[in-house]
Amino acid sequence: MKKISNYFLGFAAIALMAACSNDEIAPEVDNTTLPGVANGEAYLNVRLQDASAMTRATDGGYENGIASEHTVKDAQFFFFDAQGVFVGKASVWNGGNDNGDHGSTGNNVEFKGNTVIVLRGVTEKNYPEYLLTVINAEGFTAQPTIEATSQSLKQWYNTYTETVEGKDPSTVDCFVMSTSSYFGTDETKHNNNFYYATKILSTQFKPEPIEAAESGAVQVYVERLAAKVQVETSENLTSVRTDKDGKKLYKLNNVTIAGNENGQVDPNEGVTEVYVKFSNWGLSATTKDSYLSKQLKDSWKETAPFASWDNSGDYRCFWAQSTVYDKTIVTEGENKTLNYTTFGNLKNTVDGNKDNNGYAYCNENTNIVANITKNGKIDPAKATSVLLGAMLCDKDGNELDLIRHNGLLFKKDDYKKYVINAINKSKPINIYVADSENEGKYIQATELPSWLDLKRVTEGDNKGMIKVVANEKATISGTYYHIEEGVSTAYTDAAAVIKALQDALDGYSLDETLLLSDEAFTKGMMYYNIPIEHLAGFGTEGENTKVIIEGSYGVVRNHWYRITLNKIENIGTGVFDPNEEIIPEIPEQKYYLDATINILSWKIVNQSVEL
Whether residues 433 and 535 fall in one domain: no
Cβ density class 553-566: b for 16+ within 10 Å, e for less? bbbbbbbbbbbbbb
pLDDT value at position 507? 87
Three-class DSSP category at 412: helix
Alpha carbon distance 318, 306 (integer Å): 8
Eight-state DSSP code of residue 409: E
Whether residues 182 and 236 fall in one domain: no
Whether residues 45 and 154 fall in one domain: yes
Could you tell me the pLDDT band of residue 5, with boundaries at 50, 70 and 90? very low
Whether residues 73 and 124 fall in one domain: yes
Three-class DSSP category at 283: strand
Q: Is the pLDDT of residue 390 over 70?
A: yes
**Percentage helix, strand, coil for the chain under 3-state DSSP, each rounded to 5:** 10, 35, 55
pLDDT value at position 28? 40
pLDDT value at position 439? 63
**Of 197, 224, 251, the domain-final residue:** 224
Question: In the predicted model, what is the mean pLDDT of residues 401-405?
Answer: 94
Whether residues 420 and 332 fall in one domain: no
**Of 458, 487, 517, the domain-final residue:** 517
Whether residues 183 and 257 fall in one domain: no
Least confident of 97-101, 243-247, 350-354: 97-101
Alpha carbon distance 370, 572 (integer Å): 26
Q: Is the pLDDT of residue 394 over 60?
A: yes
pTM of the shown model: 0.84
Q: Is the pLDDT of residue 110 over 70?
A: no
What are the tens digits of pLDDT across the range 506-555? 988 888 899 999 999 999 999 999 999 997 655 545 555 568 899 999 99
Whether residues 198 and 265 fall in one domain: no
Whether residues 190 and 336 fall in one domain: no
Q: Is the pLDDT of residue 12 over 90?
A: no
Three-class DSSP category at 415: helix
Question: In the predicted model, what is the mean pLDDT of residues 45-55?
Answer: 56
Could you tell me the pLDDT band of residue 32, with boundaries at 50, 70 and 90? low
Q: Concatenated DSSP letters for 38-102?
A: TTTEEEEEEEEEEPP----TT---B----GGGG--S-EEEEEE-TTSBEEEEEE-----EE-S--
Q: Is the pLDDT of residue 164 over 60?
A: no
Whether residues 257 and 193 fall in one domain: no
Percent of the chain at pLDDT exceeding 90: 40
How many structural domains comprise the chain?
Answer: 3
Q: Is the pLDDT of residue 609 over 90?
A: no
Measuring CA to CA, which residue among 597, 595, 598 is closest to residue 611? 595
What are the tens digits of pLDDT across the range 333-365? 889 999 999 999 999 999 887 777 789 999 999
CA dihedral over 391, 395, 399, 401, signed as positive or negative: negative
Measuring CA to CA, which residue among 17, 33, 201, 25 is closest to residue 125? 25
Measuring CA to CA, which residue among 299, 288, 225 is closest to residue 556? 225
What are the tens digits of pLDDT across the range 199-213? 988 778 777 766 545
pLDDT value at position 221? 84
Least confident of 48-62, 118-132, 139-153, 308-322: 48-62
Domain residue limits at 111: 41-224
Peptide bond into 602 cis (omega under 30): yes
Three-class DSSP category at 117: strand
Least confident of 56-65, 311-320, 382-391, 540-549: 56-65
Alpha carbon distance 398, 401 (integer Å): 10
Whether residues 200 and 179 fall in one domain: yes
pLDDT value at position 545? 59
Q: Decide: 9 and 113 in contact? Cβ < 8 Å.
A: yes
Q: Is 9 contained in some domain?
A: no
Q: Is the pLDDT of residue 18 over 50?
A: no
Q: Is 302 contained in some domain?
A: no
What is the amino acid identity at position 433? V
pLDDT value at position 389? 96
Tell me the pLDDT of the chain averaged across its residues: 78
Q: Decide: 557 and 586 in contact? Cβ < 8 Å.
A: no
CATH of residue 167: 2.60.40
What are the tens digits of pLDDT across the range 279-308? 999 999 999 999 999 999 999 998 888 888
Other Cβ atoms less than 10 A from the Cβ of 594: the count is: 16
Q: Is 265 contained in some domain?
A: yes
Q: Which residue has the higher pLDDT, 410 or 426?
A: 410
Q: Is the pLDDT of residue 4 over 70?
A: no
Report H helices in 218-261.
none
Q: Is 316 contained in some domain?
A: no
Q: Which residue has the higher pLDDT, 20 or 494?
A: 494
Q: Is 469 contained in some domain?
A: yes
**Of 495, 517, 539, the domain-final residue:** 517
Least confident of 65-74, 402-411, 419-428: 65-74
Whether residues 202 and 233 fall in one domain: no
Q: Is 20 contained in some domain?
A: no
Whether residues 339 and 434 fall in one domain: no
Q: Decide: 127 and 23 in contact? Cβ < 8 Å.
A: no
Q: Is 297 contained in some domain?
A: no
